[in-house]
Every structure is written in C-alpha cells, then in structure tokens.
Copies of this chain bind each other. A is one copy, B any other.
Amino acid sequence: MHRRFFLVAIPVLLTFASCHMVEKDLSKRTWVDLSYAFSPETIYWPNAAGFEFKVDSKGMNENGYWYEANSFAAAEHGGTHLDAPVHFAEGAWTSDAIPIEKLVGPAVVVDISEKASGNRDYQMRVVDLQDWEARHGKIPVGAIILVRTGFGRFWPDREGYLGSAELGQAATLKLHFPGVHPSAATWLVEERDIDAIGIDTASIDHGASRLFHSHRVLYKANISGFENLANLDQLPAKGATVIALPMKIKDGSGGPLRIVAFY
C-alpha cells in the first residue's frame, strides 16, 4: 500500500510543482512585443497630427546628478493603439472602462499574408477563419483574433504601409491596405465569442473602406480593436496568450497600446 501510494503521489507532486513553476515564472516564457515604439516617424492617419516629442531636460543638473524628462502629444489613433468600442459605437466601452479580462486571452493568429501580398485591398473573409478552425479547432471563447496581413514589413514607410504617403484629408481617399471584411466581422460577432481583434495594418477595415462597417459591427458588440500591431510573424498560429494594456484615458476612444504575447 505504501509503495503504491508513493507510486502515485510522487509523480503527481512533481508534476504539480513543475506546473506551478510555469505559472510563477511568467518572466521565463518566450515574450513577443507586438508594439511599435512611438516617435516622430510613427504612422498616423493622413489627416491626424503625428506624435510630438519634446525633451524637457537631459544631462547633469546643478545638483550633480543625471536628469532626463520629456513631454509628448498625440492623437489617440496612431501607432500601435487601442480602438475602444466607443470609437464607432455610442455608449460602448471607453478606454478606461474595458475590463482587464477582455484584454487578456488566447491568440488566434489568422494569416492572410499570401492573399494580401497579391492584393493590397484584400479583406479577411469567413473562409479564412474557417480555414484556421479546420487546422486548429474552434476559435475559443474569449479569443483575441490577430490578423496577419504581412504589411508590417513596410513599417514605417507610409507609401508601402498605407498605399499613399500623402498627408491631409484628401489623402484618406487614397489608402490601400488589407483589412477585415464586414461579413467576417459579422460572423465573429454572431457565431463566436471573442474579446478583441487586432491587425498589422492601420485599420480593422481595409484602406479603401469609406463606411467602416467592420469597426461598427465589432465595436457595437463591445469587441475592442488593436491596430498597427508589430511582429505578428513571430507568433504561432495557436498557443500564445495576448496581454494588451492600453493607456488608461478617462473617457478615451482609444490610445497608445502596449501589447505583448507569451508562449
């Protein structure tokens, strides 16, 4: 009896101990930073002001120690950023109101880069999501969909990334980059239960969109958007966990987002 007890107990205890170590040692996992740094070259929408950075102090001061401090100004929707659902949906969550649980979840990386490389206006369709499911199983509840178009390879070249390097209101009509088709957005809202969706382009809707239907469908359902994501090619199609922590702007419609993943 004793022998049988140890035969069971020791492997269980060892397994349990090792898995607790996994939990505690989050810092030992493989981390991928899905965020671009903010700088004056950060890409914003053609009609938005860019990121301003001002050095207020930098150097040894009169008290004999190093001191460095800066200030900055930005529109909410540029660089790697959050679209809070209220961006396109009256009364939906603002940046400060999204529960943390909705910003953390299993990554579902949908790769449409091959289709988008031959067609700058490609929009992810339901079939792309179904293809993912055929290979990896049903999209889990609370998933964070990450749409990989491959356009990250152009960053920070505006011409390649947006389809036009021009600035100003008229330039917003010259954008060509891939996005999410409204039919896929609708399918995700109606057929699955996801928390957020991100993409490695400047917008959830493709560049040629005029009415932003995918934004409107998703955000009305309080699904958050993450735009201008970096390094999606470094994630497995399945198995990573996303942690997306936006700057907590009271009543914000979006804002700078630090988004990382581990596996």
Interface residues, chain A, with chain B CB atoms under 8 Å away: 4, 7-8, 11-12, 15-16, 19-20, 22-24, 26-28, 31, 33, 35-39, 48-49, 52-53, 56, 60, 63, 65-77, 80, 86-90, 96, 100-102, 104-106, 142, 195, 210-212, 216, 241, 243, 245-256, 258-260
| Contact between chains at A248 and B69 (CB < 8 Å) | no
| Contact between chains at B211 and A39 (CB < 8 Å) | no
Can you give 24 A-B contacts (C-beta < 8 A)?
A: A7-B8, A22-B23, A23-B23, A27-B101, A27-B102, A27-B195, A35-B248, A37-B96, A37-B248, A37-B249, A37-B250, A48-B71, A52-B73, A63-B210, A63-B211, A66-B89, A66-B216, A67-B88, A68-B88, A68-B253, A69-B76, A70-B254, A243-B243, A245-B258
| Contact between chains at B71 and A49 (CB < 8 Å) | yes
| Contact between chains at A65 and B15 (CB < 8 Å) | no
Residue of B whose beta carbon sits closest to that of A57:
B253
CA distance A4 to B100 in the complex (A): 45
| Contact between chains at A65 and B88 (CB < 8 Å) | yes
Specify which chain B residues have a CB less than 8 angstroms from the CB of A66 in the assembled complex. Answer: 88-90, 216
Specify which chain B residues have a CB less than 8 angstroms from the CB of A106 in the assembled complex. Answer: 24
Q: Which of B16, B96, B101, B195 contacts A15 (CB 8 A)?
A: B16
Most interface-central of A26, A73, A142 (chain B CB within 10 A): A26
Specify which chain B residues have a CB less than 8 angstroms from the CB of A241 in the assembled complex. Answer: 23-24, 26
Specify which chain B residues have a CB less than 8 angstroms from the CB of A65 in the assembled complex. Answer: 88, 211-212, 216
Specify which chain B residues have a CB less than 8 angstroms from the CB of A8 in the assembled complex. Answer: 7-8, 11
| Contact between chains at A74 and B77 (CB < 8 Å) | no
Q: Which of B19, B67, B260 contacts A87 (CB 8 A)?
A: B67
Specify which chain B residues have a CB less than 8 angstroms from the CB of A74 in the assembled complex. Answer: 71-73
Say how far A237's CB is from chain B's closest CB, in angstroms: 16
Specify which chain B residues have a CB less than 8 angstroms from the CB of A31 in the assembled complex. Answer: 100-101, 104
CA distance A216 to B31 in the complex (A): 29
| Contact between chains at A249 and B86 (CB < 8 Å) | no
